[in-house]
Amino acid sequence: MKTIKRIVISFILVLGLASNISLWSQDQSLSYQVILETKGEYNNLDRKSKINPDNWMNIGDFAALSQLYPILQFNSRSGDLATRLGVEANLRSYNFEKDSTRLLIQELYSQFTFKDKHYFVFGKKRLDWGSGMIWNPTNFFIQKDPLRTQNRLEGIFMLNYSYLFSESAISIYLFPDKKKENFKAAIKYDYSKDRIDAAVSFVEYGKYQQVGLDLSYGGNLFTFYGEGVLRNFSKSYKIDNNGILQIPDNRKKTFSSEFVVGGSVVFNMHLSFRGEYRFREDYLDKSQIRLFENQLPDNLMIWDAISVSKHTLFASFDYRDTYSRWSANLRTFYDPLSNQLIVSPLGVLTMNNFQIEASTIFYNNKLSIHNFQSTILLSCFF
């Protein structure tokens, strides 16, 4: 398998470099950025936690993570043909421990554009589906971390063709996998005019299907958005009425829905508000949550720090100075069925190529591991 990965990586690099070199005498540009992040975290554990009794997970009081992101884009153009080679790596080290260093390839792709209408992509690239700020149910492949302000998501290996119309685009995707049963295909139609953006998507995954709809409106002082899916599979675990854990593959394959609605309001040049509501039909209701609590910590596969039920609410107030050099943010997550509550103040200070984020996450529910977590994130941009 490692040999196959090396062959694929080498092919993408050779393809991208060859296409750019072939256009060497024409318009070219090389852009790069290096991001260095160092995060320190303090964990104040709830010693009476049902999720982690007597800290059997062996979570330390302190944790550290350093990450280096080298990002490179090489662009060439000759007449109607344009090419791009995109590379982003992630070098990370946990807790400064021996043998904890890992090198990941976040993105590695070649892109060809003809007449600014036909787009071909081959390789590992991010898939930015959905308008939700916190959750994106239409993105079948990868989800954001709701508790992190900056999400550098890992790409997914794809073959993609897109055709651009004047106000819309249609895209076809193939997602190969080493296992034939994990092969996926998708088609997506995007429409954009004035302040309205909309999209319809369809994902085929073996005997499973997902249909998605995405809509957003952007005004001068407010935005509104919503996205949702219907799918005949489940990614969640569940407990039946007999208290037996059901894994996703063994659950009844009927169509279920998940959707997100939200918006933002700008009160003035300093103060703004964001809110979002998520509904997941295939998650726990109130009676199932009681069964879930009675079987802890044996059924941790169901547990989620933010929400284990069908309903989740998010709200955020943000205050920033005139030039966005600093900001103060208060984020709140609430699950009305499980009574999970998270409150997190966040401060961000930006100085040229340097940024500091300081946050504390307070947990106020019986389904938490921590009383609170405090984090400092230092980021340098070169």
CATH label of the domain that carries residue 45: 2.40.160.10
Our count of domains for the chain comes to: 1
Question: Per-residue pLDDT for the chain (382 aa), expressed as one digit of tens each?
Answer: 555 555 555 555 555 555 555 555 457 888 999 999 999 999 999 888 888 888 888 888 998 999 999 999 999 998 899 999 999 999 999 876 767 788 999 999 999 999 999 999 999 999 889 999 899 999 988 877 887 766 788 899 999 999 999 999 999 999 998 887 788 999 999 999 989 999 999 999 877 899 999 999 988 899 999 999 999 887 777 777 776 777 776 555 678 899 999 999 999 999 999 999 999 998 888 888 887 887 776 677 778 889 889 999 999 999 999 988 999 999 999 999 989 999 999 999 999 899 999 999 999 877 889 999 999 999 999 9
DSSP string for 29-75: EEEEEEEEEEEEEEEEE-TT-SSSGGGTT---SEEEEEEEEEEEEEE
What pLDDT is attached to residue 14?
A: 54
Residue with tokens 């508000």: 273
What letter would DSSP give residue 206?
T
What pLDDT is attached to residue 38?
A: 93
Q: State CA 376 to chain mean position distance.
A: 21
What pLDDT is attached to residue 25?
A: 47
- Rounded to two decimals, the pTM is 0.88
CB neighbourhood size of 133 (10 A): 19
**Residue 6, token pair as written in the block:** 């090396």
- Taking only the tens place, the pLDDT of each residue in 216-249 is 998 889 999 999 999 988 777 777 777 677 777 6
What letter would DSSP give residue 154?
-
CA distance 116 to 41: 46
Q: What angle do CA 16, 22, 27 make, to 5 degrees?
A: 90
Distances (CA, A) of 203 to 79, 171, 188, 350: 35, 12, 9, 40
Which neighbouring-strand residues pair with 172? 161, 187
CA distance 110 to 25: 19
Structural domain range at position 230: 2-381
Q: What is the largest CA-CA distance in the chain?
A: 71
Q: One-letter amino acid identity for 160?
A: N
What pLDDT is attached to residue 203?
A: 95
- Taking only the tens place, the pLDDT of each residue in 10-61 is 555 555 555 555 555 457 888 999 999 999 999 999 888 888 888 888 888 9
Contact yes or no for 71/46 (Cβ under 8 A): no
